[in-house]
A and B are shown apart, each in its own frame.
Chain A
Amino acid sequence: MEILLPFLAASLVGAGVFMVLSRALIRVIIGLSLISYGINIAILLAGAGTGLAAPPLLDVEGPYVDPLPQALILTAIVIGFGTTALLLVLSLRAYQATGTDHVQELTKKPDPVEVLGSYADPERPSISPEYGPAEKRVKDNKQS
């Protein structure tokens, strides 16, 4: 059965890469989860060659699977869980803010800050709040 595991890992990573390359945020997240599953299986396989004669610290007859790669996988799973949750919230917030979860449309949306002109525009410096109201500027210019 072990011979099937590399193929499983490869197909999971392949499917994950396919999903990551798509344009919808939620599919990217699912793709990332698939990749991390595939990689966990790959680590499990990396530990397959390094069996121990007996479990550490115990007086039991072996053969015994090396527990270290499983500890690595556990850590990777915990970290992956946290970041996937963060990504889901992030994509939900992005959807609420823009009404789309399509990557390209998301990048096309102008930044609201820029539309309101809240920072100095070289063409119209008067609308910058930090430069004072427009009327005052015009008056100043006339005086000088």
Chain B
Amino acid sequence: MNLLSLPILLPLFSGAVLLLLPKRALRTLMALIAAILTLLVDLSILRTVLRGEVMVLQMSNWPAPWGISLVADGLTGIMLALSGLIALLTVMFASSSLAHEPRRGQSKTLNQLRERFGFQALLQFLIMGVNMSFLTGDLFNLFVAFEVMLISSYGLLLIGNELPQLREGFKYVVVNLLASAVFVVAAGMMYGLVGTLNMADISVKIAEYSSSHGADARLSLLAMMLALVFATKAAVFPLGFWLPSAYPVPVAAASAFFAALLTKVGVYSLIRTFTLLFPQEQLIHTILLVLAAFSMLVGAFGMISQSRWRHTLAFANISSIGYLLMGVFTTGSAGMTGALYYLIHTVLVIFCLFLIAALGEKIAGLKYTVEGHLNSYPWLGIAYFASALALAGIPPSSGFIAKYSLISASLRAGGTVNNWVAAAAVITGLLLLYATVEIWRGFFWGESHAVHKVVLPRGMTTTTVFSLALVISLAVFSGPIYKLAQRTAEQLMTNEAYTKAVLVEVKTPRIGDPALPTDELEEDTH
């Protein structure tokens, strides 16, 4: 079961080596090899957990509530596989833009000067943080994983040193620091209240306590604080104000990775918190469901208001977070199934759209208001058309399957709130269609005025086509993938398999027991 530590250790090791390698070609090679190896490890973990097994690794063999445990169930397996795929594609995209842009340029893709500031190494550390937050079974370790991820993302956001990056970077760092402060105090209070930080142990103890004592305001407060933190990271409507201006400023490859995965880490943590730790806090579930509806609508309206590629797509990201939370907080496993299918769909589609946006920016600058590019770049047009259909949820695409299952689950769950949220989801679908058609009309349609054709680097177009193929294959293989989502959702509905696998043969520790090792091994994460 040592396999579970590899998605963390491989990026850590390769990131450290990448800082030392002197030649650019060597760095590119090393980053590619690391990404491929991590993907292979992720896929083998996914294969094991798909059998319904929960993999557990107790660090240094300390038994569960005292040591840090790494846990992989179905959800973790899916998230790890997605992160491995996106990481490999990001490294390919970033590396292929280097040959094309040798010097300092005004374009927003990675050039050789920017790469020298440790882009590849920071990307590896970011992947390490993302994988660690998917794998960890310990609340405080989750905080550490978030910090590893955030600090690398600060670096990636600032590579390029332009004024918008400095300005948005400052806001991004301040917002995330405040959220982290709330997170760390919530972890401290959780320890003071429950006496443990192991998530499986917390889950068992809270379930025991609330079955004997009923609702407790202190537990609700803790759930609120964690919801606040993770909703800020996931950019849920009132807390996501930082996202639309922050995600368009870094280099193209970095912002594609951010948009595809970083907000989903917040969603993953929300799923974990409210299925494993606080399944009984119905009021907070309802609040987040209402906020999900607002996120969808605000994201779609924001898309319509923008005229720059990545600003528009950043709002699309917010609206997709709304759809995800709608499924997560609809009661029953049908909603969760839809959410998991939508999760796989939206990671791939948003990533593909950000790559298309990077190519579009290369052709005609940050805005998509110069028309008539369909003749010169037919393949880009086709790629955009297919992924825009998937984003809006038009029938042959995977987006339709995802949204259909989300909305039907919400309607079947019944109740006023659910019906209104379903209505918001339908309206948002129409608004998204309008917004994507607006890009089509602005950039691809119409008569061409361009003097010469921009040569798009082959590596970048290949990567885009490859991620487009992933989006399309999601629709083609929707049967097996939907079944996978269904099984994972059912696994999430009961915590027993998870907690049993983590807490093997350990008597519930009593506080005040003499000579019990309480060391949490936080030292090795400093």
| A residues apposed to B, CB below 8 Å | 20, 25, 28, 32, 35-36, 39, 42-43, 45-54, 56-59, 62, 66-69, 71-72, 74-76, 78-80, 82-83, 86-87, 90-91, 93-94, 97-98, 106-107, 109, 111-113, 116, 118-122, 125, 128-132, 136-137, 140
**Which residues of the other chain, A, contact B189 by a CB distance below 8 angstroms?**
42, 46
Task: Beyond A28-B174, A79-B180, A121-B367, list 18 extra A-B contacts (CB 8 Å).
Answer: A32-B181, A35-B181, A50-B191, A52-B512, A52-B513, A52-B514, A56-B516, A56-B519, A57-B517, A72-B188, A72-B191, A87-B174, A97-B166, A122-B367, A130-B362, A130-B363, A130-B365, A140-B451
**Which residues of the other chain, B, contact A86 by a CB distance below 8 angstroms?**
151, 154, 173
Question: B370, A125: Cβ atoms under 8 Å?
Answer: yes
Which one of B167, B191, B370, B512 contacts A46 once the chains associate, using CB atoms below 8 Å? B191
Question: B177, A83: Cβ atoms under 8 Å?
Answer: yes
Question: A75, B526: Cβ atoms under 8 Å?
Answer: yes
Question: B522, A74: Cβ atoms under 8 Å?
Answer: yes
Say if the beta carbon of B465 comes within 8 Å of chain A: no
Question: B451, A107: Cβ atoms under 8 Å?
Answer: no
**Which residues of the other chain, A, contact B188 by a CB distance below 8 angstroms?**
39, 42-43, 46-47, 69, 72
B440 to chain A, nearest CB (A): 16
Question: A43, B169: Cβ atoms under 8 Å?
Answer: no
Which one of A54, A58, A98 contacts B163 once the chains associate, using CB atoms below 8 Å? A98
| B residues apposed to A, CB below 8 Å | 106, 140, 144, 147, 151, 154, 158, 161-164, 166-167, 169-170, 173-174, 177-178, 180-181, 184-185, 187-189, 191-193, 195, 197, 361-367, 369-370, 449-452, 454, 511-520, 522-523, 525-526
Given A56-B517, A72-B140, A132-B452, A49-B174 contact (CB < 8 Å) = no
Question: A119, B184: Cβ atoms under 8 Å?
Answer: no
Question: A120, B515: Cβ atoms under 8 Å?
Answer: no
Question: A132, B451: Cβ atoms under 8 Å?
Answer: yes
Question: A67, B518: Cβ atoms under 8 Å?
Answer: yes
**Which are the 3 A-B pairs with shortest beta-carbon distances?**
A119-B365, A46-B192, A43-B188
Question: B163, A97: Cβ atoms under 8 Å?
Answer: yes
Question: A83, B151: Cβ atoms under 8 Å?
Answer: yes
**Which residues of the other chain, A, contact B520 by a CB distance below 8 angstroms?**
68, 71-72
Interface class of chain A by DSSP? helix
Question: B181, A36: Cβ atoms under 8 Å?
Answer: yes
* Assembly CA distance A31 to B177 (angstroms): 11
* Assembly CA distance A69 to B189 (angstroms): 10
A60 to chain B, nearest CB (A): 10
* Assembly CA distance A66 to B162 (angstroms): 47
Question: B177, A57: Cβ atoms under 8 Å?
Answer: no
* Assembly CA distance A75 to B513 (angstroms): 26
Q: Which B-chain residue is minimally distant from A120 (CB atoms)? A: B365
**Which residues of the other chain, B, contact A49 by a CB distance below 8 angstroms?**
192
Question: B187, A94: Cβ atoms under 8 Å?
Answer: no
Interface class of chain B by DSSP? helix
Question: B512, A53: Cβ atoms under 8 Å?
Answer: yes
**Which residues of the other chain, B, contact A78 by a CB distance below 8 angstroms?**
526
Question: B367, A111: Cβ atoms under 8 Å?
Answer: no
A83 to chain B, nearest CB (A): 6
* Assembly CA distance A117 to B192 (angstroms): 57
Q: Which A-chain residue is minimally distant from B184 (CB atoms)? A: A76
Question: B363, A91: Cβ atoms under 8 Å?
Answer: no
B163 to chain A, nearest CB (A): 5
Question: B174, A32: Cβ atoms under 8 Å?
Answer: yes
**Which residues of the other chain, A, contact B184 by a CB distance below 8 angstroms?**
39, 43, 72, 76
Which of B170, B178, B517, B519 has the largest count of A CB atoms less than 10 A from its CB? Answer: B170
Q: Which B-chain residue is minimally distant from A83 (CB atoms)? A: B177
**Which residues of the other chain, B, contact A42 by a CB distance below 8 angstroms?**
185, 188-189
* Assembly CA distance A78 to B517 (angstroms): 24
* Assembly CA distance A39 to B177 (angstroms): 12
**Which residues of the other chain, A, contact B522 by a CB distance below 8 angstroms?**
71-72, 74-75
Question: B513, A53: Cβ atoms under 8 Å?
Answer: yes
**Which residues of the other chain, B, contact A20 by a CB distance below 8 angstroms?**
174, 178
* Assembly CA distance A15 to B96 (angstroms): 49
A46 to chain B, nearest CB (A): 3
B427 to chain A, nearest CB (A): 29
- A-B contact list, 5 entries, CB within 8 Å: A46-B193, A68-B191, A83-B151, A118-B365, A121-B365
* Assembly CA distance A39 to B463 (angstroms): 45
Question: B518, A125: Cβ atoms under 8 Å?
Answer: no
* Assembly CA distance A32 to B182 (angstroms): 12
Given A68-B518, A119-B366, A50-B511 contact (CB < 8 Å) = yes
B312 to chain A, nearest CB (A): 15
Q: Which B-chain residue is minimally distant from A87 (CB atoms)? A: B173
Q: Which A-chain residue is minimally distant from B189 (CB atoms)? A: A46
Question: A119, B162: Cβ atoms under 8 Å?
Answer: no
Which one of A62, A106, A119, A129 contacts B514 once the chains associate, using CB atoms below 8 Å? A62
Which one of B173, B185, B523 contacts A71 once the chains associate, using CB atoms below 8 Å? B523
